[in-house]
Amino acid sequence: MVKTFHPENRLAKLIKLPGGVTLADAMVRANRNLASVRESCLAGVDDKIGEMEAMISDAPPARAELASVYRLANEIFAEAGAFAQNELSAAAHSLCELTSPDNAGVRGWEPVRVHIASMRLLRSPALAEDERQRQALVAGLQKISARASA
Amino acid sequence: MSVRGLSSSERINLEKAHILLLDASAHGLEIMVQIMTGFGMRNFYRCQKVEEAQTIVRAKPVDLFIVDPNFGDADGYEFLKWLRRSGIEPNCHAPIILVSGHAQISNVRKARDTGANFFMVKPLTAGALLERVLWLARDKRPFVELDHYVGPDRRFKMQGPPAGSDGRRKNDLPLDIGDASEPNMSQFEIDGLLKPQKAVL
């Protein structure tokens, strides 16, 4: 039996209260606020790359280790992307594809290590001005993860 | 910068809204808080653990939930299902935006069944998030309660019952149109049903 009803939408009532901001101002302020935390958030991304680097060892990756890499890569994907670090975000997404629990393809650290090293490179000044090289790097990573998932 | 389909001079007031943000990442939370502070929101409950969010839900009214369900050891999807079935008013009926980064295939069905009002894919942008908040404030879909689902009606458009079924609801009509049971109406009768309108050129 399906029960249907209309609960009160408190958000709808609050949003119509007098005062507030225009949509144009809301957008300007939101983007300005976001820019104010850019450096601290990208420093956090560097720390997460470091955490993943520290996990790599000679022993085959344990399931829990791959789960940790997946979680960190997922966070980097979202956080780098929020600051328009598009290639870094795409590289992190490729690492998510590689280490996703849906994908049993990865058995060794090597493809993971290549992804992490590339993400470190994408954060370095060496590639800051070279979009073509950054995109080529990401395309290579996506081939690796696609091969491992096949 | 604009919000699709809306006048940029339209005003919103979210100063009194209480928002619960659940994200395992401190930086993920910070990004959401900064964007939403720009929208005029002031009252945030920042939670990095499901248990923290449950404690808030039991103690404080929340007007909007924004949840990233991807946790290492806890399950954010189960938190949302718990919230919808908790019976804790008004929180159990509050709008929920589920935000997720990389989507695992195995989680897509889970996400659909959580009872969230909307699903957004990260990375988040201010424009996309503002559009969704405004959309939620205008969402008129009814809530439905079933054995296996509690949340807003997942049918965005009423296009009849699901294919191959006669529907599960009293107001589900069959797709097949039966034979006419009465004679056709005359043009005079049809004209009588229409409300004349003055044309504006």
pLDDT tens digits for A11-25? 999 999 999 999 999
Interface contact flag, A23 B10, Cβ < 8 Å: yes
Question: What is the predicted pLDDT for the residue at B162?
Answer: 67
More confident residue, A92 or B191: A92
So where are chain B's domains? 18-152
Give how far B177 is from chain A: nearest CA, Å: 25
CA pair distance B119, B116, nearest whole angstrom:
7
Give how far A103 is from chain B: nearest CA, Å: 9
What is the b/e burial string over A78-106, where b = at least 16 CB atoms within 10 angstroms of the residue's CB? bbbbbbebbbbbbbbbbbbbbbbeebebb
Overall average pLDDT of the B42-71 stretch: 95
Give how far B93 is from chain A: nearest CA, Å: 6
Overall average pLDDT of the B35-39 stretch: 97
Nearest chain B Cα to A19, which residue?
Answer: B13
Q: How many cross-chain Cβ pairs, A to B, lie less than 8 Å apart?
A: 196
Interface contact flag, B7 A34, Cβ < 8 Å: no
The DSSP secondary structure of B91-147, one letter per residue, reads: GGGS-EEEEESSPPHHHHHHHHTS--SEEEESSP-HHHHHHHHHHHHT--PPEEE-S
Highest mean pLDDT among B127-141, B145-159, B187-201 belongs to B127-141
DSSP, collapsed to helix, strand or coil, labels residue A84 as: coil
> Is the CB of A54 inside 8 Å of chain B's CB atoms?
no
So where are chain A's domains? 19-149
Angle, CA of A51, A57 and A60, to the nearest 5°: 115
Nearest chain B Cα to A41, which residue?
Answer: B27
Give how far A121 is from chain B: nearest CA, Å: 21
Overall average pLDDT of the B38-45 stretch: 97
Question: What is the predicted pLDDT for the residue at A149?
Answer: 72
Nearest chain B Cα to A1, which residue?
Answer: B146
Question: What is the predicted pLDDT for the residue at B75?
Answer: 80
Give how far A83 is from chain B: nearest CA, Å: 9
Does the pLDDT at position B143 exceed 80?
Answer: yes
Interface contact flag, A74 B101, Cβ < 8 Å: yes
> Is the CB of A74 inside 8 Å of chain B's CB atoms?
yes
Interface contact flag, A33 B37, Cβ < 8 Å: yes
Question: What is the predicted pLDDT for the residue at A63?
Answer: 87
Mean pLDDT of chain B: 86
CATH number of A19-149: 1.20.120
End-to-end CA distance of chain A: 44
Interface contact flag, A96 B101, Cβ < 8 Å: yes
pLDDT digits (tens, 9 = 90+) for B7-28: 788 899 999 999 999 999 999 9
Tell me the whole-structure pTM to 2 decimals.
0.84
Confidence of residue B104 (pLDDT cuts 50, 70, 90): confident
Highest mean pLDDT among B18-27, B96-105, B185-194 belongs to B18-27
- Please give the ipTM for the structure prediction: 0.92
pLDDT digits (tens, 9 = 90+) for A55-101: 998 888 888 899 999 999 999 999 999 999 999 999 999 999 999 88
> Is the CB of A86 inside 8 Å of chain B's CB atoms?
no
Give how far A58 is from chain B: nearest CA, Å: 24
Task: Please tell me whether the peptide bond between A61 and the residue prior to it is cis, using omega within 30 degrees of 0.
Answer: no
Question: What is the predicted pLDDT for the residue at A103?
Answer: 74
pLDDT digits (tens, 9 = 90+) for B156-172: 666 666 667 767 666 66
> Is the CB of A43 inside 8 Å of chain B's CB atoms?
no
Confidence of residue B73 (pLDDT cuts 50, 70, 90): low
Nearest-by-Cβ selection for B126 from A21, A27, A36: A27
Suggest the residue from B3, B31, B46 to mutate for an interface test with chain A (most A CBs closer than 10 A).
B31
Confidence of residue A104 (pLDDT cuts 50, 70, 90): low
Does the pLDDT at position A125 exceed 70?
Answer: yes
For A2-143, list the strands marked E by DSSP. Answer: 3-5, 21-22
Mean pLDDT of chain A: 93
* Second CATH level (architecture) for the domain B18-152: 3-Layer(aba) Sandwich (3.40)
